[in-house]
Amino acid sequence: MTLITTESQIAAKSPGKIPLRLVLVVPFVLQIFAAVGLTGWFSLRNGTIAVNNVTSQLRMEVLGRIKQQLHTYLETPHLVNAISVDAIRRFDLWNPNNMIPMRSYFFWQLQQFPTVNYISFGGERKEYAGADYKDDGTVVIEITDKSTNFINTIIKADKQGNPTEFKEVHIGYDPRIRPWYKTAKAAGKSQWNKIYQYYIQPSLGISASQPFYDKNGTFRGVVSTDLFLSEIGDFLQSLKIGKSGKTFIIERSGLLVASSTSENPFLKSKDGKETLILKAIESSVPLKVESVLGAGSIFYFDLDLPVASQYIESDSMNFSDKISGFRGETYKILLVDDRRENRNVLRNMLEPLGFKIMEACNGQEGLDQAAYFKPDLIITDLVMPVMGLKFCRKRNNKVCKNIFCG
């Protein structure tokens, strides 16, 4: 008789021993789990590092582009001052008894540099000349000389810079005591001034001022080019920095000067005057700062973005049944927007209805197109890098009378 002993019988007889199958299988399975786990962990870690590197590179590229655009925008006032000082000296525009030629020159300079809001000159004898935009888009010209008995006089100007309608006078205005004048005179060179309240209009602004010396090297006055704080905010909003990107300009004191958000860093009092009241850390997008002595400061912020609950393919969306049609005369419509996709949306909606569509990618091109094609309607973006708000202010222009700003 043959005795056959199975593995289970051996295990039963040896309760203290581990089965051979378990000894062989468990280490192998553990090795597989360890290898897969480590591989997944390293893949996730490397992927996270790669994403962070790409994000950092993209952030630096966007930051570099913003710096370049902002540098160009903020260098324009200094450029205007340098050109103006040279022109005043070369063409003998400075004459305390007759500031009209200089006033006319500033009017045309304002047309050539649409991103600036105010160009002026104040002299040692209280003489003054200037040109600036008002909120309604009109241009006013100012003069203080012998013809006005050295009283500051403000007049509305036509498209050629000629005086049309008397506006107001300011007997107490003296450019020599204004911040932009005293700072430039004391420094003896071109520089930015602190944010200040305008004497005539209840707005906050910042000016770049440059002293003017005649051919003999004698100090005669100061040329100043201004930017309104509200306009700086409009410029920041026009920068293309992604869907969630934000841009801020902060004073050394910590006050928020301008931002690409819709939040105003200043309030208007009952008399209409603007005052900076918002600290950067009190903004609706709280800013954090890290400073290193001798290296500078880095400002950053966090945004809580909602998670999309679903994704909709654009091809699956059909809006054709929303258009009811149009009957009547075919009109010419000019679309002005720096984003091509926005123009395409409007074109695809309006062209099938029979409208003749023309396009422009910025305010200056829109103005040229309007003068050439004479459209019946102009649909324009309000915020563009080149003549966005300025273009909307052309509503009083004959060729831009039917303009819709959105």
186 & 159 share domain: yes
Please tell me the distance from the alpha carbon of residue 304 to that of residue 301, in angstroms, as a whole number: 10
371 & 284 share domain: no
Residues 6+ apart with CB under 8 A from 38: none
Q: What is the pLDDT of residues 21-73, one digit of tens each?
A: 776 777 777 778 777 778 888 788 888 888 777 777 777 777 777 778 888 88
Strand, coil or helix: what is 6? coil
Q: What is the CATH number of the domain that holds 188?
A: 3.30.450.20
Domain span at residue 351 reads: 322-405
Would 310 be classed as within a structural domain? no
**Dihedral sign, CA of 65, 70, 72, 73?**
positive
Domain boundary among 231, 256, 289: 231
Would 74 be classed as within a structural domain? yes
Instruction: Return the higher-pLDDT residue of 229 and 155.
Output: 155
144 & 103 share domain: yes
Closest CA to 237 of 262, 214, 256, 213: 262
Q: What is the pLDDT of residues 59-75, one digit of tens each?
A: 777 777 777 888 888 89
Mean pLDDT for the chain overall: 78
| Tally of domains within the chain | 3
Q: What is the pLDDT of residues 357-391, one digit of tens each?
A: 888 888 888 888 888 788 888 888 776 767 766 77
Q: What is the pLDDT of residues 172-219, one digit of tens each?
A: 899 999 999 999 999 999 999 988 888 777 678 889 999 999 999 999
Which residue reads 């004391």 in tokens? 186
Would 215 be classed as within a structural domain? yes
272 & 130 share domain: no
81 & 196 share domain: yes
Q: Which long-range contacts (CB under 8 A, 24 or more apart) does 380-383 make?
A: 380/334, 380/335, 380/336, 380/337, 380/404, 380/405, 380/406, 381/336, 381/337, 381/338, 381/339, 381/342, 381/405, 381/406, 382/406, 383/234, 383/237, 383/238
225 & 247 share domain: no
224 & 249 share domain: no
**279-288, 315-324, 333-342: range with lowest mean pLDDT:** 315-324
Do 377 and 334 touch, CB atoms closer than 8 A?
yes
Q: Which whole number is the average pLDDT over 244-259?
A: 74
Would 42 be classed as within a structural domain? no
Do 260 and 244 touch, CB atoms closer than 8 A?
no
Do 141 and 155 touch, CB atoms closer than 8 A?
yes
Do 226 and 78 touch, CB atoms closer than 8 A?
no
pTM for this prediction: 0.58
